[in-house]
Amino acid sequence: MRPLNLNAITGLVVSAAIAVDTALAQAARPNEYIVEYATGAGHALRARDSLASKGDIRVRKSFEHAVFSGASIETETFDFDGLGALPEVARVWRNNVVTLDPMARQAEKVEAYKALDYAVHNSTGVAELHAAGVLGEGALVGIVDTGVWWKHPALGGCIGPECKVTGGHDFVGDIHWRPGLEKHPDEDPMDNAGHGTHVAGIVAGENEYWSGVAPRSKIRMYKVFSDAHGLDSDDATVIEGFLMAAEDGVDIITCSIGSFNGWPHNAWAVVADRLVDDGIFVSISAGNEGSAGPFFGSTGASGKNVLTVASIASDKRPVRAGGNVAAHFANDSGIPSFVDWAAGGKASGFTTWGAENDLTVKPDVGAPGGSIYSTYLDNSYSVQSGTSMACPYIAGVAALWVSQFGGRAAHGKGWARALGRRIISSGRPLPWYDGAHTYDNFTAPVEQVGTGLVDAWKVLHYDTQLEFDTMGLNDTRHFNRHHQVELTNNGQADIVYTFSHAPAAGFETYECTTAADDCRIKPWKKFKAVQLDAVVTRLPEPFALEPGESKVVEVRFDNPDKLGWNAAALPAYSGHIRIEGSNGEELSVPYFGLGADLQEVIGPIFRKGYPVAVAGADNATIVDNSSCSFDFNEEALGFPRITARLKWGSAQIRWDIFEEDWTEREWTWPLKVGENGYVGAVHGIDKSTGSADYPNVTVTFPVAWAHRNADGSELQRFHEYWWPEGKLGGGEKIKPGNYTMRFAALNPFGVPENGTQWSVFKTPKITVL
């Protein structure tokens, strides 16, 4: 459990109850970063040696690849800003913890069942491809996950160059591991958790009753989790898996893990994005935090050119003999059948919603992820639900394409993005489903399912290739009205193209309670679909393309700021630009926008009553106890502890210490210790990114790319930071005296140079004893 149990009370004084009696006795995960070298891959060794010579910098792992040259490091004396200022360093990120989605952990074993009962491939066009003999032969898929039970007969029963599982790597070992502990890597990516085996079966599994999407493809597994109890990994380990997969020659990488984030600038997203540019197709699961509502994206899935995959419930679900719905089938229950159900073919309620914190359009497309049958540990099978299941489905579709047309070796680097555009544009719209009712008059929004359910038949057979960026309209202040689409006719005959606009369901995403004046992004269960139609002021007129011919066209939107929408409720609107060919082809390009000035509506980024700052064993507020002894004995607890809740993701959270008389009027950027009253950044513990068995994560501020807080689990609800030792970013302990403490988060679209674009927590002067 997390040590925080906090309730805010409205009014001037906010009390907090923080359980800290045993937390500080637990080990702290070291202060870890990922750095990219400024010198590039050709000088990585020199840059690494130079970093290591700085003193308290320990290089844990070097990354030497054409797309990313850098290292994961530990340090207790360099902070985020200090590392970024080093001449060897181009960019810096925290090495964040990543997790398996909780729904994916709830696997239930089932018996094999008859092929005619399994209809998931019918809804995606995969069954038609299988019937035509397209089975994925020749494609090589890299999977980054918990490993694979390669002994499974449906996965070939062996590991090696001639097997379905050709190899891979175990980065962490088979004994229990979590970030911060010693790894025990080896060459056998045997699965001890089950998640990766289920994913592998969705891609390439096959028996006499059932098959995955690309059953004749081969896979390589890169294991980044240890066992069923080791459900945490970190960015550096996942990046290591991605880069090794790329070096091993895979054309496709799929990964069904992540953590709350929603920023395309995090380290894993940056590396994954670059791999796509380098010619590797990448699919990553959107996440299973749908209950939190929109604007709650995941880590790697936030990469711009990564295919971010939403979950759509399987058309049919398993039932026992006699028709009783169940997820688990005992030995005496017989072979299950599959029957229609109300949620079938609809967006899964758990699928994480976009868009990103910078209003980038995500997710991209949906695939079957609810009630999916696949391989499991000990040669068994299970039914699981999650975007973890939808993501490898898309990788399987990519493998089918590669088996017919080739990958990077055949087409060069640009093929991966081009295939991504084919898959996105193939999506079929779904009706809006709120978990209880289907609304056929509304289409499920782009921020939930992208373009809709993938159509693999279109992906492999359509003559038309589209090149586009998903149409991010942004908010009304930063409105982006002009968008381009390039069409290419790869067929043998002329095609005439026509364009139309198909709005999706709109939603008012923001609410404020009357009693407490507390504003938040609404959870999914509070959503009511409303008509919010974008005004498209320019659609291309019909035109023809000859075989081999291309044309770039423009689509233009009008700013919705004059449409009378309720801007205070952050109206989210989306839809598709439909493109129809005279040959019967139907494709779509998604768009998304926010009908309000985001910065103006959000105002101060903190939720009502937050941040809360307490000190002392009695959890007195800083107002009542501003003296800091930094005695962290449980009878004293003489150090500040701050808990914050964000209405929106922040590009940066800072906790800085200034001289006693410093005021906001003296704000300068960048901050430099010893100048303009700046004493240093806090070096403490981040309680909001750890795990149940490893809750203490060392942090030196700032915290970059922070997610917004939701009202679900405690990890969703709070950003919690402690300053137990009184250390500053350089590792030194603060001297006795009086100081000004500034805790602040950068507002949406804010620039750090402008002090007014920070939400600042007002605290009294503190006295260090």
CA 616, CA 620: separation in Å to the nearest integer?
A: 6
> Same domain for 679 and 579?
no
Task: Evaluate if residue 527 carries a pLDDT over 70.
Answer: yes
Q: Two tokens at 120?
A: 């998931």
Query: Are both 333 and 478 inside the same structural domain?
Result: no
Same domain, 504 and 431: no
DSSP summary character for residue 124 = T
Among 121, 169, 195, 198, which one carries the catalytic annotation?
A: 195
pLDDT tens figures, 180-239: 788 999 999 999 999 999 999 999 999 988 899 999 999 999 999 998 676 789 999 999
388 catalytically annotated: yes
**Whole-number pLDDT of residue 325:** 43
Strand, helix or coil at 453? strand
Domain boundary among 567, 602, 637: 602
Between CA 416 and CA 420 the distance in angstroms is 6
Q: How far apart are CA 250 and CA 265, in angstroms?
A: 25
Crossing angle of helices 415-425 and 267-277, in 10° steps, is 100
Taking CA atoms, 679 is separated from 56, 487, 755, in Å, by 20, 57, 17
131 and 210 co-located in one domain: yes
Quote the domain boundaries for residue 648: 23-27+606-768
Among 128-137, 156-165, 323-332, 568-577, which is the least confidently predicted range? Answer: 323-332
Angstrom distances, CA of residue 361 to CA of 355, 358, 706, 707: 5, 9, 18, 16
Among candidates 441, 276, 463, 290, which has minimal Cα distance to 366?
Answer: 290
User: Do 309 and 394 reside in the same domain of the chain?
Assistant: yes
What average pLDDT score do residues 631-648 get?
91
Pairing of strands 696-700, 28-29: parallel
Averaged pLDDT for residues 372-396? 93
> 76: pLDDT confidence band, cut at 50, 70 and 90?
confident
Q: Does residue 45 form part of some domain?
A: no
Q: What is the CA radius of gyration of the chain?
A: 26
**pLDDT above 70 (res 117):** no
Of 571, 602, 633, the domain-final residue = 602
For residue 515, pLDDT over 90 is answered with: no
Considering the candidates 81, 101, 145, 251, report the single residue annotated as catalytic: 145
pLDDT of 321 over the 60 cut? no
Residues 630, 538, single domain; the answer is no
> Is 89 a member of any domain?
no
Structural domain count, the chain: 3
403 is catalytic: no
DSSP state letter for 429: P
Q: State both tokens at 730.
A: 């350089």
Angle at 579 between CA 576 and CA 582, to 5 degrees: 155
On the question of pLDDT at 21 being above 50, the answer is: no
| Residues 427 and 531 grouped into a single domain | no
Q: Report the pLDDT value the prediction gives residue 39, as an integer from 0 to 100.
A: 75
For residue 516, what pLDDT is reported?
67
Q: Does residue 425 share a domain with residue 573? A: no
Of the residues 291, 311, 388, 626, only one is catalytic, namely: 388
Contact present, 362 and 353 (Cβ < 8 Å): no
Model pLDDT, residue 647:
97
- pLDDT confidence tier of residue 339, bands split at 50, 70 and 90: low
Handedness of CA 505, 508, 510, 513 (dihedral sign): negative
Q: Which residue among 602, 628, 661 closes a domain?
A: 602
Residues 272 and 152 in one domain: yes
pLDDT digits (tens, 9 = 90+) for 701-721: 999 999 999 988 777 899 999
Q: Do 71 and 60 form a contact (C-beta atoms < 8 A)?
A: yes
Burial 51-68 (b: 16+ CB within 10 A, else e): beeeeebebebbbbbebb
